[in-house]
Chains A and B, each alone.
Chain A
């Protein structure tokens, strides 16, 4: 019905003209590595690669580049005329001169069955048993299956050429020929395989059936090359056809192929491009055409394919492969050959107004049909129109660059100039805004407020508080404030005729404001020349988004905020979309077909649409079609290099010990926005964390030593959807000296050596001990011998000394004698050696008891000698004269020793002598006399011990001047 209306409108509005509505198509052609621009078939394998069947080879597209495969790569022939993906995911290719190839487990291979049939393969199909059937144009049909069962059916019907095949769920084989459709039954028995014709479907015999499509599992449609469409109906196994009528102006249409996807039938034609069609109520409706009129480079299309991400791929006849990713943007060009700048634009539900130099055009927005063009004939000046706005009375006000404001009243076709000031600067209008019945006019001389009914004028300029008279933009907020953007460091607003200025960037920088808009929260945003966009609040405008946040440029022309909460900013080089929720920025550049410069303030929005005016036509953004691609990209590794040697397999790589450089080629297979794919990766065993997102598709690691590494990579499509993960393991073997067995060997070795050393030392020690023992025994024997010798000597000596002792003892008074003289006495005599230098003597001389105690120099034998000498000398000195004065005894003994021993002062003379104490007791006088040479006398009386010191001279020695004193005491 819609089609009818469009055509009716077309005729009714004869004389009017329409926009040409164009879409953005990306091309994969010879410029991008495709060997040939004639695309005969398109398939996508389970890994996501796109296979492009051309007349000169097979192209495989990975979203980034095309790799070509030819006969030398196991393709039977470079010309691929048919293609098919079977239920197992294998890809089959039929060739122009017969024969077929298969893409199986990532490799191409010849198919030898049917290779000798030199007839073009037009179609490939699979039956319920997994048999692959080939339709050979001049030959007929043949099949084979993986069990090597095969069947050849040459000319199943005479004088026919064969083009297409459809195998129904009932295993009926509908064969499309150059003269309609024939139905066959296939049977297999002991005699072999049989194909029996059971019916001709009643078509016009002239129709060459090129394609079958089973739409939504219900309706089977057959398409003829000459453009006819038949619905094939099966009743009780009997087929009949019903032609579907549809309206298309091009009578000479030639259908090359039909595919079904996304609820549409995509009909490829050689004369009219791609017809996007739908079946409704048993009728075929063309809902859209993609051809030269809508931006395709050609009208000649061979085939179409809709991939897993919903991208429509169009195989053209001579222009390569075209992709239509989405309909986010629609492009309208009134005349492609001339520049057609749209300097201002206004839209409402049904109407579209565009303005350019000296011209305003009024369109029916829905059908893009131009109702009316206003030019100088309608009073417009030959001047750039900078703004348009409708007043409350439906008058259209326009602002011009040099000629002030014009007004077209609702029922008038004429524009009338409004002169609201004599100032020449006030005639340059940059923006208009309506508030109630007031028209606010932005000029180079401030803001004028014009009453559209009374004509009264107010001016707001620097004299009453505006920071600058050059006004860039005006905007009326939802709470009826008028925001004024100037060329100054402030953003201003008018509230109750009073001007308030708010600093931009603390009022430190002059900012040229280009456009102003308000988000749904009432926050005002404005765009600037050179400083990005700003958010305005009561304190001013300090929050700023610019190129550092991802904007295409800081030079921002127009700004709008849509219902989805996205800020749209137009630049000279494209569009930026800023999400209000997270301030993420998405840019739209020439990849999306945006090639023309956007013009300042040429923008308007309505509901889900934003209309942008450019230097050559209009760009329409439709947020309803801006759907995030949630299909995960398929991640893979294009290559792995080890020291620049390429490894193509994804099997783990094992390397001998060494230092390596690893390289990884990353591939994220998203055919929708494939150039905007990003990656995250980690090399486990080396990296601690995943990398940040990067658009670089190769990664290198240098100086990699032994270890076990696993490289993991994930891709993210243009909308940030995470893809699958690809991994590869690389093991650089440890050196032998890092292996456990080496450690074990070392430990064993060390232990062995240790034990060996210990054993050796032990053995040596034992040997040494034995030697020592032997030495000891030897020495012991010597010692024993010496001992014995010494003992013998000692015995002799001892015997001699003992004898000497007897002699010496004989000079000592007997103990009985001593007891007799001194009844209460005792003797304490402990010589150190056998013979001694000590001796004592007692006697009675002249009734006086005498007691002597001497200590001669030397011990042992020398002492003995001295004692004997001293004893003799002492006995000589005892006489009556000396008995009463013992000091004389000492004196005399001393002198005798010196004399006897020949003692002199000579240094080498002996110093031998003795210490001696003499006590003489005179009982009659009860007197005790004492003389001591170096010996005291201890007197113990009544519990008290008194000491009477002797003289400090020994007897004998070199001191000749010795005098001794006799000391007395009572008894």
Chain B
């Protein structure tokens, strides 16, 4: 049933994929992804020093492609250096059997066999200047090297970024590209994660978004955020809800809040907005994930499935005048 449901929404998905496949995407308005070295304090905003992203290549696409990493090293511009540049970050790309179908790979915490699949590429960065504020390209890659999944709509690759040494924060971005030297999106390609660790804007009045996808089996969701430092509000909008307030965590704190899914929201994405507060907080890193009523993590898509949800108002029924 779930498969039918996904299939039903493929046209919508394709429409949504006219956006670029940068991670974070422009629609998300997130400055960077962030991963700290394993010696960093949790209060810096990264609960597990690991970020797992999945890239989906449509089955029809059978040409080489590339995954590009912007500013993969830790040092120089963009990154959050704690005293000295002592952090090493590894990027490991997996494909093949178990990449996504392995249950541990879909958890919010990197435990168990989360590095499932065939290791296709592995690279470590410290503070190499030649990659500071520049792109590093993994590939070319063969779409068939991924794990094909009907549910996730294509051949799935998994890129795991881990801070293996140090306590600095590595801020970086991804791009799923058809070119090794330019960011050219793959038609129908997408990227998703089950837990975001992101850097929020420092400036005021900035709104960042994440877009979890709600499948037809979801009855309610529970959002968990960590170390938001009470920086503004966290609101949920969707085709059926506007400005639903979610709990906001403080420094080094996990909070949870629930939201009941209405029928209209099934098969669409939710728009969870990080709305900056009045006070300026810099270098605010935050972790967020969402689980359904069974505790299963739900994916956040860089390019929201079905497009950015727009609230359609209440549906009212007027009695007919006699």
Query: Can you list 10 A-B contacts (CB < 8 A)?
Result: A37-B63, A38-B144, A55-B144, A55-B145, A56-B144, A118-B97, A138-B118, A300-B140, A317-B142, A318-B142
- A299-343 vs B, Cβ < 8 Å mask (1 yes, 0 no): 010000000000000000110000000000000000000000000
Given that A138-B118, A318-B140 are contacting pairs, would A96 and B145 also be in contact in the complex, using a CB cutoff of 8 Å?
Answer: yes
A36 contacts which of B62, B119, B122 (Cβ < 8 Å)?
Answer: B62
Top 7 nearest A-B pairs (CB, nearest first) are A55-B144, A318-B64, A97-B97, A38-B142, A120-B118, A300-B140, A317-B140
Residue of B nearest to A30 (CB): B62
Given that A137-B119, A300-B64 are contacting pairs, would A97 and B145 also be in contact in the complex, using a CB cutoff of 8 Å?
Answer: no
Given that A55-B145, A300-B64 are contacting pairs, would A161 and B140 also be in contact in the complex, using a CB cutoff of 8 Å?
Answer: no
Interface contact A318-B144, CB-CB below 8 Å:
no
Interface contact B119-A161, CB-CB below 8 Å:
yes
Which A residues are in CB contact (< 8 Å) with B96? 96-97, 120
Tell me the complex Cα distance, A37–B142, Å.
Answer: 9
Residue of B nearest to A254 (CB): B121
B98 at the A/B interface (Cβ < 8 Å)? yes
Interface contact B140-A119, CB-CB below 8 Å:
no
Tell me the complex Cα distance, A161–B142, Å.
Answer: 20
B41 to chain A, nearest CB (A): 28
- B142-161 vs A, Cβ < 8 Å mask (1 yes, 0 no): 11110000000000000000
A512 at the A/B interface (Cβ < 8 Å)? no
Given that A97-B96, A118-B98, A318-B63 are contacting pairs, would A270 and B119 also be in contact in the complex, using a CB cutoff of 8 Å?
Answer: no
Residue of A nearest to B119 (CB): A161
Tell me the complex Cα distance, A298–B140, Å.
Answer: 11
A79 at the A/B interface (Cβ < 8 Å)? yes
**A30-B62, A270-B139 given; 15 more Cβ-contact pairs under 8 Å:** A37-B63, A38-B142, A55-B143, A55-B144, A78-B144, A79-B144, A96-B144, A96-B145, A208-B122, A270-B140, A300-B64, A317-B64, A317-B142, A318-B63, A318-B142
Which A residues are in CB contact (< 8 Å) with B122? 178, 208
Tell me the complex Cα distance, A79–B122, Å.
Answer: 21
Given that A300-B64, A318-B63 are contacting pairs, would A119 and B144 also be in contact in the complex, using a CB cutoff of 8 Å?
Answer: no
Which A residues are in CB contact (< 8 Å) with B64? 38, 298, 300, 317-318
Contact residues, A23-66 vs B (CB, 8 A) = 30, 36-38, 55-56
Tell me the complex Cα distance, A548–B122, Å.
Answer: 62
Residue of A nearest to B63 (CB): A318
Given that A36-B62, A300-B64, A317-B64 are contacting pairs, would A119 and B118 also be in contact in the complex, using a CB cutoff of 8 Å?
Answer: yes
Contact residues, A86-126 vs B (CB, 8 A) = 96-98, 118-120
Given that A97-B97, A137-B119 are contacting pairs, would A36 and B144 also be in contact in the complex, using a CB cutoff of 8 Å?
Answer: yes
Which A residues are in CB contact (< 8 Å) with B139? 270
Tell me the complex Cα distance, A390–B143, Å.
Answer: 58
B61 to chain A, nearest CB (A): 11
Interface contact B118-A37, CB-CB below 8 Å:
no
Contact residues, A64-84 vs B (CB, 8 A) = 78-79
A673 to chain B, nearest CB (A): 29
Which B residues are in CB contact (< 8 Å) with A36? 62, 144
Contact residues, B84-135 vs A (CB, 8 A) = 96-98, 118-119, 122
Which A residues are in CB contact (< 8 Å) with B119? 137-138, 161, 178
Which A residues are in CB contact (< 8 Å) with B142? 38, 55, 317-318
DSSP majority for the A interface? loop
Which B residues are in CB contact (< 8 Å) with A208? 122
Tell me the complex Cα distance, A78–B118, Å.
Answer: 16
Interface contact B140-A96, CB-CB below 8 Å:
no
Which B residues are in CB contact (< 8 Å) with A38? 64, 142, 144
B138 to chain A, nearest CB (A): 10
Tell me the complex Cα distance, A236–B313, Å.
Answer: 83
Residue of B nearest to A302 (CB): B142
Tell me the complex Cα distance, A648–B177, Å.
Answer: 46
A321 to chain B, nearest CB (A): 14
B67 to chain A, nearest CB (A): 14
Which A residues are in CB contact (< 8 Å) with B118? 96, 119-120, 137-138
Tell me the complex Cα distance, A836–B111, Å.
Answer: 167
B8 to chain A, nearest CB (A): 27
A75 to chain B, nearest CB (A): 14
B115 to chain A, nearest CB (A): 9
Which B residues are in CB contact (< 8 Å) with A30? 62
Which B residues are in CB contact (< 8 Å) with A318? 63-64, 140, 142
Tell me the complex Cα distance, A118–B116, Å.
Answer: 11
Which B residues are in CB contact (< 8 Å) with A120? 96, 118
Tell me the complex Cα distance, A21–B118, Å.
Answer: 39
Which B residues are in CB contact (< 8 Å) with A138? 118-119
Tell me the complex Cα distance, A298–B180, Å.
Answer: 12
Tell me the complex Cα distance, A548–B62, Å.
Answer: 47
Most A-side CB within 10 Å, residue of B118, B119, B122, B142: B142
Tell me the complex Cα distance, A282–B139, Å.
Answer: 31
Which A residues are in CB contact (< 8 Å) with B145? 55, 79, 96
Contact residues, A143-159 vs B (CB, 8 A) = none
Tell me the complex Cα distance, A628–B63, Å.
Answer: 37
Residue of B nearest to A79 (CB): B144
Residue of B nearest to A206 (CB): B124
A172 to chain B, nearest CB (A): 26
B284 to chain A, nearest CB (A): 35
B44 to chain A, nearest CB (A): 28
Which B residues are in CB contact (< 8 Å) with A317? 64, 140, 142
Contact residues, A554-596 vs B (CB, 8 A) = none
Interface contact A37-B62, CB-CB below 8 Å:
yes
- A407-440 vs B, Cβ < 8 Å mask (1 yes, 0 no): 0000000000000000000000000000000000
- A268-299 vs B, Cβ < 8 Å mask (1 yes, 0 no): 00100000000000000000000000000010
Which A residues are in CB contact (< 8 Å) with B97? 96-98, 118
A80 to chain B, nearest CB (A): 10
Which B residues are in CB contact (< 8 Å) with A137? 118-119
Which B residues are in CB contact (< 8 Å) with A98? 97
Tell me the complex Cα distance, A208–B120, Å.
Answer: 12
Which A residues are in CB contact (< 8 Å) with B144? 36, 38, 55-56, 78-79, 96
Tell me the complex Cα distance, A137–B118, Å.
Answer: 7
Residue of B nearest to A81 (CB): B118
Residue of A nearest to B137 (CB): A252
A593 to chain B, nearest CB (A): 24
B201 to chain A, nearest CB (A): 33
A49 to chain B, nearest CB (A): 23
- B55-84 vs A, Cβ < 8 Å mask (1 yes, 0 no): 000000011100000000000000000000
Which B residues are in CB contact (< 8 Å) with A55? 142-145
Tell me the complex Cα distance, A120–B97, Å.
Answer: 9
A751 to chain B, nearest CB (A): 79
Tell me the complex Cα distance, A138–B145, Å.
Answer: 15
Residue of A nearest to B65 (CB): A318
Which A residues are in CB contact (< 8 Å) with B143? 55
Which A residues are in CB contact (< 8 Å) with B62? 30, 36-37
Most B-side CB within 10 Å, residue of A37, A38, A300: A38
A753 to chain B, nearest CB (A): 80
Which B residues are in CB contact (< 8 Å) with A161? 119
Tell me the complex Cα distance, A161–B98, Å.
Answer: 17
A600 to chain B, nearest CB (A): 42
- A183-226 vs B, Cβ < 8 Å mask (1 yes, 0 no): 00000000000000000000000001000000000000000000
B230 to chain A, nearest CB (A): 42
Tell me the complex Cα distance, A98–B122, Å.
Answer: 21
A120 to chain B, nearest CB (A): 4
Tell me the complex Cα distance, A897–B259, Å.
Answer: 181
Tell me the complex Cα distance, A837–B264, Å.
Answer: 165
B314 to chain A, nearest CB (A): 50
Tell me the complex Cα distance, A793–B122, Å.
Answer: 153
A453 to chain B, nearest CB (A): 59
Residue of A nearest to B124 (CB): A206
Tell me the complex Cα distance, A270–B140, Å.
Answer: 7
B92 to chain A, nearest CB (A): 11
A317 to chain B, nearest CB (A): 5
